[in-house]
Structure 1
Amino acid sequence: MSTTSTPITRIRPDRYHRRDALAALDPATDHVEIYRALSGLEFPWDIQQALSLALFRTYAVPSIGRLLAATGEFTERTQKRYDDTGLILETVLANGFEHPEGRAAVRRMNQMHRSYDISDDDLRYVLCTFVVVPLRWVQRWGWRRHTEVEKVATANYYRELGRHMGIRDIPATWQEFESLLDAYETEHFGYDPGGRAVADATLDLATTFPPNDRVPAALSRTFLLALMDEPLLDALGYPFPPRPVRIAADAALRARAAVVRRMAVRTEPFSLQQSPSIRSYPDGFDVRELGTFPATCPVPHDARRAGPAA
């Protein structure tokens, strides 16, 4: 981290001043500080929504969706698994990779992954979704666009996370993350009943989150589907929403961006623990106790590797 940079949380409350302050940092060494500011101060809602949407892309890869369905975690304990995933990732970001809590969160994540038969290719793809989906969301619906420094820092942050996870051949740039994601989806997207079951459970949960819970669940579900692209909808077996619905969803998010652009700058970092969508731990949590603790892989490997269902 740069020793001469102004602390990002203490800069004056000008709408674009933080963008300029971040642009003066070095994404090679300050990527944790930059990405922490993006997630907690500049685009907290956008990045949270984008990462939630990124989950659906992973379900559309049959080897991933089938495994998640076979564990039962995302279909039977959807809220807890959603909470655990977000809180583990946020604990790493909030504390950094060298802090004891950050190390404990990475260790907990790696312990869970090692309990299952997950290919390095699938892990690398999931890492790509963390980079690419938020970048593309903000590009389209953010109150401002990312700067190049912010894009590089985002890629560098997840490169470091991937290294701590032991993932090999991680893309070197945000452009390479995009290329890998697009190529992997072209080759691997496909329908599987398990992936669809996990997607349905996640959609049902998402309709209960504010402000989605203020409208009928069917309407909220349609709005969420309207944010998905056609290859993703096809892979999950969902109908393509009518054009007017997609236009309305896009317009609603663009209108939100216009409002946020005129709001006072956020000076207190958002924490996922503050979100009403996180409900499993009202009295707090220990990151070492989050997630699952299977003694051995509970999913038959042959079943996981079977081809997509017809």
Structure 2
Amino acid sequence: MLRWDRNRGLDPRTDYEQIYRNLSQYDFPWDFNQSLSFALFRTYAVPSIGRLLFESRGFEDTQKRYDDTALLLERPLVEGFDSADGKAAMRRINQMHRAYDISNDDMLYVLATFVVVPKRWIDDYGWRKMTYDEVTATVHYYRKLGRHMNIKDMPETYEEFADLMDAYEAEHFAYDEGGRHVADLTLELLTTFYPKPARPAVQLFSRALMDEPLLTAFDYQRPSALVRRLSLGAMAARAAFLRLMPPRLRAKDFESSSRMKTYRAGEIETERLGTFPGGCPVPHTAVAGASSADGAVEASTSAATVTS
């Protein structure tokens, strides 16, 4: 079986959950993890989002916040929106958002980044491009997620999502101390996934893959032209290497990833994930091996990892 045949014959209008699962867990697991993290990272450059995250103190414990967010988004993907865990995850996501005054426009923008950023990332760095049907399935998948979150006025096509995201960023990207602090904590978390000697390079690689509006919004120093060329070269070399590899036969999920450090795989209770601004109704016991973290979703824009 050729790697790009996995979704052949599936209908993007009805089989979109399966198509998206194949993309994110078999064909592009590393790329989807990186690009979705990067998508969330972009949202911190919108002051109404970055400042809220800072003021709500949701980024004081970064590793746990990263783990909780990834696990909550993965539950509907792996188990299905209508499964017990899928429903529990959506309840938790909605409970957390309802605790704050978040505009539909901001929610819609974040949803748009989930649709657009991974497609652009894979176009630039993936071992192949996504097919038209795969892009269409992605739109259907996130429109379903948006319906579960009661997001209004969602676009119907990828092009409309892309136009919405670009226009929102052009209008709203701006420097904010709170958003910059959240971004810094996120990049700091990213470095912890690599050996200490590599961490300065991880930071540099991350900034080398950021576009000019994002660097300006965070007031980050621009990497040199040489660093950018080396970063893009590393990503191109990785893509070329992966084209020669056989298809992945086992799903790669976040729960079994070495980057998930707060919980033991297989012992996670979806109802206890996330933050409880009004106080958690469920009694908590200490989780063995848990980090002291409750903070950011990783913006792992790094090219430092060269294999999937």
TM range (shorter): 0.7 to 0.9
Aligned residue for 2:63? 79
Query: What secondary structure, in the 3-state scheme, does the structure 1 residue paired with 2:268 have?
Result: coil
Aligned residue for 1:213? 195
- Choose from 163, 169, 174 the match for 1:190: 174
Higher helix share: 1
Aligned residue for 1:307? none
Q: CA deviation at 1:218?
A: 1.7
Higher relative contact order (CA 8 A, sep 6+): 2
Q: CA deviation at 1:32?
A: 0.4
2:212 equivalent to 1:222: no
Distance 1:187 1:269, change over 3 A: same
- Note if contact 2:3-2:27 (Cα within 8 Å) is conserved in structure 1: no
Aligned residue for 2:251? 269
Distance 2:195 2:176 in 1: 28
Aligned residue for 1:49? 34
2:275 equivalent to 1:292: yes
Distance 1:23 1:14 in 2: 11
- Note if contact 2:49-2:179 (Cα within 8 Å) is conserved in structure 1: yes
Gaps in structure 1 of 5+ consecutive residues? 1-12, 297-310
- Note if contact 1:57-1:232 (Cα within 8 Å) is conserved in structure 2: yes
Say how many residue pairs are matched.
278
Gaps in structure 2 of 5+ consecutive residues? 280-308
Q: CA deviation at 1:16?
A: 3.0
So what's the TM-score if we normalise by structure 2? 0.88
Distance 2:131 2:113 in 1: 19
Aligned residue for 2:92? 108
Instruction: Give the RMSD, CA atoms, in angstroms.
Output: 1.2
Query: What secondary structure, in the 3-state scheme, does the structure 1 residue paired with 2:3 have?
Result: coil
Aligned residue for 1:304? none
Aligned residue for 2:152? 168
2:111 equivalent to 1:127: yes
Q: CA deviation at 1:213?
A: 2.9
- Note if contact 1:42-1:266 (Cα within 8 Å) is conserved in structure 2: yes
Distance 1:280 1:259 in 2: 32
- Note if contact 1:51-1:130 (Cα within 8 Å) is conserved in structure 2: yes
Aligned residue for 2:293? none
Q: CA deviation at 1:214?
A: 6.0
For residues 295-310 of structure 1, the aligned pairs below 5 Å read 295=278
Deviations 1:228-273 (A, max 9, x none): 1000010011011111111111110111011111112101111111
Deviations 1:165-218 (A, max 9, x none): 000001101111101000000000000000000000000000112xx4364322
Aligned residue for 2:5? 17
Query: What secondary structure, in the 3-state scheme, does the structure 2 residue paired with 1:224 have?
Result: helix
Distance 1:17 1:187 in 2: 40
Matched to 1:91, the amino acid is R
- Note if contact 1:23-1:150 (Cα within 8 Å) is conserved in structure 2: no
- Note if contact 1:143-1:261 (Cα within 8 Å) is conserved in structure 2: yes
Q: Which of structure 1's runs of 4+ aligned residues deviate more than 6 A?
A: none
Matched to 1:92, the amino acid is P
